[in-house]
Structure 1
Amino acid sequence: MCKHLQLKGNTYYYRRRVPSDVRKLHKAPNTRKTPEQLFFSLKTSDKAEACRRADSHTRRLDALWKAYRERHETEGNAQLALATLEAASLKPGHAKLQPDDPTIDNFLSYYLPSHEPYEPRPALTPQEQLTVDILYGEKIPRTLSDAKELHFELGKGPKNRVGEQQFDRAWNLLLEITGDITLDNLNREHAREFVRRLVDNGVGPETVKRYLSQVRPVIRTGIQEFELSMTNPFDGLTIPNRDEGPRKPRDTYSMAELDVIQEKCRQTDDQRRWAIAMLSDTGARLAEVIGLKKGDVFLDAAVPYIYIRPNELRGLKTKGSERKVPLVGEALWAAKRAMEIKGNFLFSLLPAQGHQ
């Protein structure tokens, strides 16, 4: 599905209606008219390449319009400022490098508040001031989201689904504490609060360390690549009780408790309960069971079993984790029930948990 694409002759064009509330952003510097639609050449006759370019323009415009609609009067939005300049065919620092370019005066005359020659120029809003500052070569304020986006673009992000889930949990916690602030406003107190939140929620020292290892590299990328003169607030943090060793082991279920759990699994009889039943009588890890494919289940063997091995949905914790596990009791019942549903995986409705 490729939106906003039109073939004219042998060349593809981008055509899209401009919502009335954002048309000011696309007004040409030398005219008073605001466009009702955007129409320009994608400069290619290859449909696949045209779709790629059109999608890029669509995402850029969506971000521009969203930022404009959600702009705050108390602070400028760097993304909106950059998109505003781009729409006028200007780049950051253009006015500093080419001060005599008439495009600059044309842009300023329509972008800045109008006033009579004998009147003082009205005060600029934070957004207008930021846009003009960037035009004249001031440094672009970089946010946490900018750092994250660049980190991923450089190929430093998570490499699998499990890593993505772990990263999202850590990153969302950071944004919950700070909001999407600029990197130069990130400080040590934010980092300490990050650790405090985890500890207060009962997270153990080693897990806190893993959370920090998700966030710290992103901040480091932002500082290095955006050439900021600051230290990484997440470096060298103290994790409370880290030297006290592992937490007290959890108690095991009693046989009476297992009987109750297995009985409830039979009564409810759905995918989640089948997975719990298989866990109860195999001793396998959660991800090992949920990530099973039907080809890993051998019900016709002399002793029915599951073959726990890596697949495209999840890996294994160690090489020695690959093994064959007999199916007995409730695990055998659950495997038979799960084999009756459609799909290649035993538990298609449950998310894979990855390495455990």
Structure 2
Amino acid sequence: MRGFQLSTSGCFIVTVKYLKQRPSGLYFFRKGIPVDLREYYEGKRELVYSLQTKNEAEAVKRVQRLSKQYEDQFRQLRSTAERDKAVKELKKFGLEDAPLDRQTVFRNGSDPYEDGSPFSEMIEEYSMIADAGGYFDDTRLVPSQRRALQILKREEKFTLEDVKQRALVKVSGNKKKEGEIKRFFKYFHNGNLCGVIDDIRPRDVVDAVDALLSEGKKTTTIKKALGSVRKLFREFSLENDVRVDNPFNNIPIPGLGKDSKKRKACDYAEIKKLKEAIELNLDVVSAQISGLLFNTGCRCGEVSGLLLEDLHLDSDVPYVRIKDNDRRELKTKKSDRHVPLIGLSLEAAKAVKSKASENQIYAFPKYHRDGVFKNDNASAAVNGWLKNHVVGCTSHSFRHTLKDRMYEAGIPKPEIEDLQGWVSGKMVDYYGKSKGLRRLQKVLLKMEEYEGSNGLL
């Protein structure tokens, strides 16, 4: 593929590969996908992306960065594909994806080199290919065959791509965890981090962290990514007997936590305005979700991901059951809880139930498509709706605001933490569901009474 020719001062012309320019003047990146890797890109023959600039110098920088990114990606994909073929090669001879001394077929004490054994047959076949006049030349084998031998001899070289792929197998089917693993490993995919893990040094990880910070990534996001990759690297090393130091251990993150912004809590004037807007729009999904958040202090994902059956309105104490379901996991184990429904939150729950169709499974089905819970879509929709009524307030503001409202009403800290899912020992566990729910209901009613008697709401 011909590149874009840049004119320079003097008589030189520089050709930049993969850079193209449209008649509009906008530059774009265009790179062919190798035939053996097209299956990983849905059969596409090439990658084409707008560089979002008409500036020549900026376009050159961006295309060079993208080119390196995809070359690294191609190399990692080839490594993964090669290993998959190597495992199939082992299975062809009745061998497992494990070193020779750990093969089940030889645990009875039989000799792997004995004539007729699976390993002996494999070596015999490979010797016919690799025979170089009396000695075994493994360069004559195809890459997957060499990799198969490396697996058996404990000479295999792994990459972070191998670590990622093994982790993805373990969470197969869990879209949320799959997405998180892919995202976190993408943070550490450039430079020396693309090589074999034996050669990765802590300095390489530090450089990657510095690059993430320069891109504007939050320090807490980087901390979470580091922790996840570090854990998965450790598990992979143990499972595959990889004897190298974990390069993701003890990596410093400059200014950790200092870039975090405190979530905005709404004042009573804003709360009152939001309450009125929700009451007038309870036929709107975003208002229904906001209403459920109003007096429960739940997270947006906890509410928008609810099953319809999680809204218990016929109980002596109406409540919402916050728990994991097939499409939505809670943030922590402590988040699993029962929350009484009072006032506006109860009215919102009734609106959801009354408008539900026959055989409806999810409380808000528009955010459950193709077997996946669209949490980001729900959050964006609710935040957009709230912005039309109170600037600066988001779906998470209800959580912080409810905490402040309860403190203002003199509610003890243990009850606040129970309602917001910050403690392991819940009242419903200690007192039983009925009595525990009634005690929590009294807490919320006390807050509502305080606000009413003081003219706050």
Partner of 2:338: 322
Partner of 2:323: 310
Q: How does 1:62-73 map to 2 (within 5 A)?
A: none
Partner of 2:85: 80
Residues 186 and 233 of structure 1 are in contact (CA less than 8 Å); yes or no, is this contact kept in structure 2?
A: yes
Quote the Cα distance in structure 2 between the aligned partners of 1:149 and 1:130: 20
Partner of 1:98: 113
Q: How does 1:183-194 map to 2 (within 5 A)?
A: 183-194=197-208
How far apart are 1:233 and its partner, in Å?
Answer: 1.0
Quote the Cα distance in structure 2 between the aligned partners of 1:200 and 1:265: 43
Quote the Cα distance in structure 2 between the aligned partners of 1:207 and 1:257: 34
Residues 338 and 347 of structure 1 are in contact (CA less than 8 Å); yes or no, is this contact kept in structure 2?
A: no
Partner of 1:250: 263
Secondary structure at 1:217 match in 2: helix
C-alpha root-mean-square deviation of aligned residues, in Å?
5.4
Quote the Cα distance in structure 1 between the aligned partners of 2:324 and 2:121: 61
How far apart are 1:211 and its partner, in Å?
Answer: 2.0
Q: What is the one-letter code of the residue matched to 1:226?
A: N
Partner of 2:67: none
How far apart are 1:85 and its partner, in Å?
Answer: 4.4
Q: What is the one-letter code of the residue matched to 1:142?
A: F
Q: What is the one-letter code of the residue matched to 1:80?
A: K
Partner of 1:142: 158
1:263-302 Cα shifts (integer Å, max 9, x gaps): 99779x4x55643454357543213312433334356789
Q: What is the one-letter code of the residue matched to 1:219?
A: F
Quote the Cα distance in structure 2 between the aligned partners of 1:132 and 1:163: 30
Quote the Cα distance in structure 1 between the aligned partners of 2:177 and 2:144: 40
How far apart are 1:238 and its partner, in Å?
Answer: 0.4
Aligned pair in 2 of structure 1 residues 242, 98: CA closer, same or farther (>3 Å)? same
Give TM-score scaled by structure 2 length: 0.44
How far apart are 1:213 and its partner, in Å?
Answer: 1.8
Partner of 2:348: 331
Secondary structure at 1:232 match in 2: coil
1:172-227 Cα shifts (integer Å, max 9, x gaps): 44457878753224333542354345545655434432222211011112333433
Which residue among 205, 209, 213 is the counterpart of 1:195?
209
Aligned pair in 2 of structure 1 residues 236, 164: CA closer, same or farther (>3 Å)? same
How far apart are 1:83 and its partner, in Å?
Answer: 2.8
Quote the Cα distance in structure 2 between the aligned partners of 1:142 and 1:339: 52
* Aligned length, in residue pairs: 275
Residues 288 and 349 of structure 2 are in contact (CA less than 8 Å); yes or no, is this contact kept in structure 1?
A: no
Quote the Cα distance in structure 2 between the aligned partners of 1:205 and 1:321: 30
How far apart are 1:252 and its partner, in Å?
Answer: 4.3
Secondary structure at 1:219 match in 2: helix
Secondary structure at 2:126 match in 1: helix
Q: What is the one-letter code of the residue matched to 2:261?
A: K
Partner of 1:14: none
Q: How does 1:106-255 map to 2 (within 5 A)?
A: 106-109=125-128, 111-112=129-130, 124=140, 127=143, 130-131=146-147, 134=150, 137=153, 139-148=155-164, 166-175=180-189, 181-196=195-210, 198-200=212-214, 202-242=216-256, 244=258, 247-252=260-265, 254=270
Does 2:302 correspond to 1:288? yes
Quote the Cα distance in structure 2 between the aligned partners of 1:259 and 1:305: 20
How far apart are 1:240 and its partner, in Å?
Answer: 1.7
Aligned pair in 2 of structure 1 residues 301, 86: CA closer, same or farther (>3 Å)? closer
Aligned pair in 2 of structure 1 residues 277, 346: CA closer, same or farther (>3 Å)? same
Quote the Cα distance in structure 2 between the aligned partners of 1:243 and 1:77: 41
Aligned pair in 2 of structure 1 residues 231, 265: CA closer, same or farther (>3 Å)? farther
Gaps of 5+ in 1: 1-69
Residues 83 and 144 of structure 2 are in contact (CA less than 8 Å); yes or no, is this contact kept in structure 1?
A: no
Partner of 2:431: none
Secondary structure at 1:322 match in 2: strand
Residues 220 and 257 of structure 2 are in contact (CA less than 8 Å); yes or no, is this contact kept in structure 1?
A: no
How far apart are 1:235 and its partner, in Å?
Answer: 0.3
Residues 279 and 289 of structure 1 are in contact (CA less than 8 Å); yes or no, is this contact kept in structure 2?
A: yes
Residues 274 and 334 of structure 1 are in contact (CA less than 8 Å); yes or no, is this contact kept in structure 2?
A: yes
Residues 76 and 127 of structure 1 are in contact (CA less than 8 Å); yes or no, is this contact kept in structure 2?
A: no
Quote the Cα distance in structure 2 between the aligned partners of 1:261 and 1:161: 35
Partner of 1:57: none
Gaps of 5+ in 2: 1-76, 102-110, 368-372, 376-420, 423-457
Residues 193 and 204 of structure 2 are in contact (CA less than 8 Å); yes or no, is this contact kept in structure 1?
A: no
Residues 304 and 364 of structure 2 are in contact (CA less than 8 Å); yes or no, is this contact kept in structure 1?
A: yes
Secondary structure at 1:242 match in 2: coil
Aligned pair in 2 of structure 1 residues 189, 248: CA closer, same or farther (>3 Å)? same
Q: What is the one-letter code of the residue matched to 1:248?
A: K
Aligned pair in 2 of structure 1 residues 163, 290: CA closer, same or farther (>3 Å)? same
Does 2:357 correspond to 1:343? no
Aligned pair in 2 of structure 1 residues 319, 168: CA closer, same or farther (>3 Å)? same
Q: What is the one-letter code of the residue matched to 2:348?
A: A
Quote the Cα distance in structure 2 between the aligned partners of 1:122 and 1:236: 40
Residues 159 and 197 of structure 2 are in contact (CA less than 8 Å); yes or no, is this contact kept in structure 1?
A: yes
